[in-house]
Amino acid sequence: MPRVSTASNQPSQRFANAHGKGLKPYQQKQLQRLYQLRLPPSSLVTVEFAQRLGSICQELDYQPISVYLNRRGQVIRVGVGSPFETQIPAWELPRQGAERLSGIRCITTQTGLEGPGQKALTAMALQRLDALITLSVSKSSGHLRRGGTATGFIERAYLAHLLPNGDSRWLVSDPLPLGLLAEQDLQELVEALEDQFRRQLTVRQVDLDQDRAILVGLQESGQSSEDLMDVLTELGRLVETAGGQVLQTLWQKREGPSSGTVIGSGKVQELALLVQDLGANLVVFDRELTPSQVRSLEAAVGVRVVDRSEVILDIFAQRARTRAGKLQVELAQLEYLLPRLAGRGRTMSRLGGGIGTRGPGETQLEMERRAIQRRISKLRQQVQELRNHRQRLRQRREGSQIPVVAIVGYTNAGKSTLLNTLTHSEVYAADQLFATLDPTTRRLNLPNHQAVLLTDTVGFLTELPEQLVDAFQATLEEVTEADALLHVVDLSHPNWEGQIAAVEKLLDEMPLATGPRQLVFNKIDRVDPEWLEDVRLLYPKALFVSSTTGENLDQLRHTLMNLALALGMKGGEDPDRCSSSLAGERN
Ligand SMILES: Nc1nc2c(ncn2[C@@H]2O[C@H](COP(=O)(O)OP(=O)(O)OP(=O)(O)O)[C@@H](O)[C@H]2O)c(=O)[nH]1
Ligand SMILES: [Mg+2]
């Protein structure tokens, strides 16, 4: 049997809290009876139904009542409170595309004579209601039936509905006599609206196979606007690299993140509206979210909410080609997933479809947890084997006394391109983040007939998820075991200085990366030559090259020659070098 309070299935208490008044049993009964009423499917509202609501409203001392109906004319929810207070939670709403309305309309009572307020209209937009009908109940002129019960008097009525992409989000009618409103055809109205929404969607050329994302950032005190923009630009690049489309970016200035939802509650609401307006199906935050934050946010906005780490993990998962790469990515993903298992799933399970949305029940979760743990230990073991294998490879290389130089740098700096140009190879290089996941080593013969081994490595990124760093340890050891590092910087990137700092920081955190580091500014073909001279003054020891045009690569070869000579001498003096560093690693 349907209850008056449909949201929590706890009768009446919710309303008593919202309005400071408990409901008397006979009042509850009247509300309950509303569930038995049924409107003709084509009617927006009937005069009888409106008057019945007006009368109940009077009997409840003019507390507002909101009734929700589906398109078959059935009452599916009754609440004492404004449309804003009685909203249907996002996860209980049917999941619809941006071209559809929810198939639910709300009829609400009020005592004022004005049309629906901002909050009520916002609630309509959040739920994508077919329509919002506001009935103004007169306090004075309610007339009495012979039996003594008030019938309620509806002074005027308003019809409000959403608008496809106009200057305003909704349209509110002038005050209408009830009779006129009752003549409105519901089907005609919603068909016309959905038709317009569909056409608008075609104009926007939304690709329905792609994730359509809204980015959310937080500017904490102490963070400059430029820093935030850099973070959000990079986040956008990451989302695009992962195959998503960025529809819009939203940010907020705040002391610090709110513990519940990162951004404040008003901003969450703005976000939820934007999701509706743009037909987004994904929200991406610029920072790592706790499981409970994800839960609250998903409940409020009604679509999947992910954090930056998940996007990065997703990219790695898509990029991984080799067995080793796949192994490492799977390990990272599972380690990320495990602590988040409990929260995910249940809130979103009703929405169905899409990654991370199918929620198993609690027992199944427990089983899955154990299965995942087993899988993680197995993967760790395999990653360890991989590590040993790489170690043997390196050992062989070191035995051959050819110095190893690792090319490191921020993702997309041009590391693979540099390796390709220098060694005439065809390692995969592309204008993508994390084009390279697996290190590749190539032999480079220098003009003096000496050789070095150049190793291309996975790109760096600020605040890489720790699970990834752990999982890619085997790969990163190529860096820690190299005799020297070439730190490649994309000088044409607006945040090149920030990227240098990020890479230096990560390298400093690797205790074994002790070899000399040579800074190589790349992509100089894309920067203003005058400005380049200024940078040269700032970094007198750096090299300035273009990997695509080959400019100044001779200088780089020369530098490598000197490096190799110095290393060769060092190698000669210290034959134990390789075994001692390996011993250190085993601990
Ligand atoms: N104009 C110009 N473009 C360059 C230069 N070097 C690399 N690129 C371009 O920059 C993009 C990234 O190059 P990659 O070599 O894949 O960069 P990477 O550092 O290996 O990137 P990840 O493997 O993703 O970390 C590609 O589109 C290259 O063509 C250069 O000197 N000048
Ligand atoms: Mg690369």
Q: Please list the residues that pair with 293 across neighbouring strands.
A: none
Interatomic CA distance for residues 49 and 431, integer angstroms: 62
Interatomic CA distance for residues 499 and 488, integer angstroms: 10
Interatomic CA distance for residues 72 and 372, integer angstroms: 45
Among protein residues, the one with the nearest Cα to ligand 1's atom 2 is 523
The per-residue pLDDT for 569 is 59
CA of 135 to the centre of ligand 2 (A): 64
CA of 422 to the centre of ligand 2 (A): 14
Q: What is the pLDDT of residues 296-333, one digit of tens each?
A: 998 888 888 999 998 988 888 888 878 888 888 888 88
Instruction: Kindly identify the ligand whose nearest atom is closest to the C-alpha of 548.
Output: 1
Asked whether 109 and 85 are in contact (CB, 8 A), the reply is: no
> What dihedral angle (degrees, nearest 10) is formed by the CA atoms of 566, 567, 573, 575?
-170
The residue with tokens 């929200």 is 283
The per-residue pLDDT for 574 is 38
The per-residue pLDDT for 440 is 86
DSSP H or E stretch at residue 76 = strand 75-80
Asked whether 481 and 581 are in contact (CB, 8 A), the reply is: yes
Residue 387, classed as helix, strand or coil, is helix
The per-residue pLDDT for 577 is 35
DSSP H or E stretch at residue 399 = helix 362-399
Closest ligand 1 atom number to CA of residue 428: 16
Residue to probe by mutation, ligand 1, list 417, 426, 433, 464, most atoms within 8 Å of CB: 417
Instruction: Kindly identify the ligand whose nearest atom is closest to the C-alpha of 489.
Output: 1
**Per DSSP, which regions of 198-298 are E strands?**
212-220, 245-254, 282-285
Residue to probe by mutation, ligand 1, list 237, 412, 543, most atoms within 8 Å of CB: 412
What are the respective helix, strand and coil percentages of the chain, to the nearest 5? 45, 20, 35
CA of 552 to the centre of ligand 1 (A): 16
Interatomic CA distance for residues 49 and 38, integer angstroms: 9
ipTM above 0.95, yes or no: yes
Closest ligand 1 atom number to CA of residue 409: 19
CA of 424 to the centre of ligand 2 (A): 15
DSSP 350: T
CA distances in angstroms from 507 to 109, 173, 435, 578, listed in the order given: 64, 64, 20, 20
Asked whether 198 and 52 are in contact (CB, 8 A), the reply is: no
Residue 78 tokens, joined: 């009754």
Instruction: Kindly identify the ligand whose nearest atom is closest to the C-alpha of 316.
Output: 1
Instruction: Kindly identify the ligand whose nearest atom is closest to the C-alpha of 431.
Output: 1
CA of 437 to the centre of ligand 1 (A): 14
The per-residue pLDDT for 285 is 96
Residue 303, classed as helix, strand or coil, is coil
Interatomic CA distance for residues 51 and 55, integer angstroms: 6
Among protein residues, the one with the nearest Cα to ligand 1's atom 13 is 414
Among protein residues, the one with the nearest Cα to ligand 1's atom 3 is 523
Interatomic CA distance for residues 262 and 216, integer angstroms: 10
Closest ligand 1 atom number to CA of residue 460: 25
Residue 550, classed as helix, strand or coil, is coil
Residue 338, classed as helix, strand or coil, is helix
Q: What is the pLDDT of residues 385-426, one digit of tens each?
A: 888 887 887 777 667 778 889 999 999 999 999 999 999 988
The pocket around ligand 1, CB under 6 angstroms, is made up of 409, 411-417, 429-436, 459, 522-523, 525-526, 546-548
pTM of whole model > 0.80? no
Closest ligand 1 atom number to CA of residue 411: 25
Contacts 24+ apart (CB under 8 A), 346-350: 347/91, 347/295, 347/298, 347/299, 348/91, 348/298, 348/304, 350/91, 350/92
CA of 502 to the centre of ligand 1 (A): 18
**Per DSSP, which regions of 419-471 are E strands?**
440-445, 451-456
Instruction: Kindly identify the ligand whose nearest atom is closest to the C-alpha of 435.
Output: 1
Q: Which of 345, 344, 366 is nearest to 289 (CA)?
A: 344
Interatomic CA distance for residues 548 and 414, integer angstroms: 9
The residues near 440 (Cβ < 8 Å, ≥ 6 apart) are: 416, 419, 425, 427, 455, 456
Q: Which of 460, 462, 455 is nearest to 478 (CA)?
A: 455
Q: Please list the residues that pair with 518 across neighbouring strands.
A: 486
The per-residue pLDDT for 143 is 52
Number of residues assigned to the chain: 587
Interatomic CA distance for residues 84 and 102, integer angstroms: 16
DSSP H or E stretch at residue 160 = strand 154-162
DSSP 474-505: HHHHHHHT-SEEEEEEETTSTTHHHHHHHHHH
Helix residue ranges per DSSP H, 400-450:
415-423
CA of 240 to the centre of ligand 1 (A): 17
Q: Please list the residues that pair with 43 across neighbouring strands.
A: 185
> What dihedral angle (degrees, nearest 10) is formed by the CA atoms of 221, 226, 231, 237?
160
List average pLDDT for each run of 10 residues in the chain, which is 587 residues long. Answer: 41 43 83 92 93 91 93 93 87 74 94 90 90 89 47 81 80 92 92 85 63 94 90 92 91 93 94 86 92 89 89 86 84 85 46 36 67 89 86 74 90 96 89 82 90 90 82 76 92 94 86 82 97 96 96 95 78 35 28
484-490 vs 451-456, strand pairing mode:
unpaired
Interatomic CA distance for residues 486 and 262, integer angstroms: 39
The sheet with strand 212-220 has its strands ordered as 245-254, 212-220, 282-285, 304-307
CA of 436 to the centre of ligand 2 (A): 4
Among protein residues, the one with the nearest Cα to ligand 1's atom 16 is 429
Query: Where do the domains of the chain lie, and which CATH numbers do they carry?
Result: 13-204 (no CATH), 212-319 (3.40.50.11060), 397-586 (3.40.50.300)
Closest ligand 1 atom number to CA of residue 488: 19
CA of 587 to the centre of ligand 2 (A): 31
Residue 399 tokens, joined: 């035995």
